[in-house]
Amino acid sequence: MSRPLTVERLRLRRRLLFWLTLPIALFAIFWAFKFLSLAPTAQNAIDDYDDGLYVASEEASSSLLFLNVVEPYLPYFNRGDAYAADQYYGPATDDFEKALELAPLEKKCDVRLNLALTWERFGDVYVQLGYFQGAVQLYEASQAVLDDAGPECDPPPNQDELTESKD
């Protein structure tokens, strides 16, 4: 036979239930806030970039790096764009390489293109400074990024070519 619930046992049960569900509720609140803040923060980074506020764009993109499970490559990509626009080519290439690792297949071509362009601009700086051998290596790195591209960077078939091949 079960014992009747006393007021003290009810309080103890409520306290136990509260402490057991508190971590779950806090976890849910954290992730809700995280997911709801991703889009506005990303848009803020894009707007700052469009307005020429590259440092602000870098900071906004950096804030998206923590526990980004939705599109983990995107903050690196956006921050790399801001670094490159601000002519910080070393950090830009680092971010683009990280973005290339994390990007889904359909986005890898965009990342490759920006990475190759950044290596090329970095090479241009070396040419201006008279470091021609270093510039050649940077240009080769740019070409290697494009050469390593897979089918994700193949241009779509031309409709005219498809029509002619059927005839």
Tokens of 50: 């469009």
Phi, psi of 144 (to 5 degrees): -65, -35
Per-residue confidence (pLDDT) for residue 98, from 0 to 100: 96
- What is the average pLDDT across 23-39? 82
The DSSP-derived string for 50-74 is: HTT-HHHHHHHHHHT-TT--S-TTH
CA pair distance 96, 61, nearest whole angstrom:
13
Which pLDDT band, with edges at 50, 70 and 90, does 166 fall under? low
E strand residue ranges, 65-106: none
pLDDT digits (tens, 9 = 90+) for 52-62: 999 999 999 88
Per-residue confidence (pLDDT) for residue 68, from 0 to 100: 79
The percent of residues in the chain predicted with pLDDT above 90, rounded, is: 50
**Angle between the 7-50 and 54-63 helix axes, to the nearest 10 degrees?**
150
Alpha-carbon dihedral sign for residues 62, 121, 46, 153: negative
pTM above 0.85, yes or no: no
pLDDT digits (tens, 9 = 90+) for 111-164: 999 999 999 999 999 999 999 999 999 999 999 998 888 777 777 776 555 555
Reply yes or no on whether the pLDDT at 95 is more than 90.
Answer: yes
CA pair distance 81, 121, nearest whole angstrom:
13
CA pair distance 148, 119, nearest whole angstrom:
14
Question: Looking at per-residue confidence, does 166 or 157 come out higher?
Answer: 157
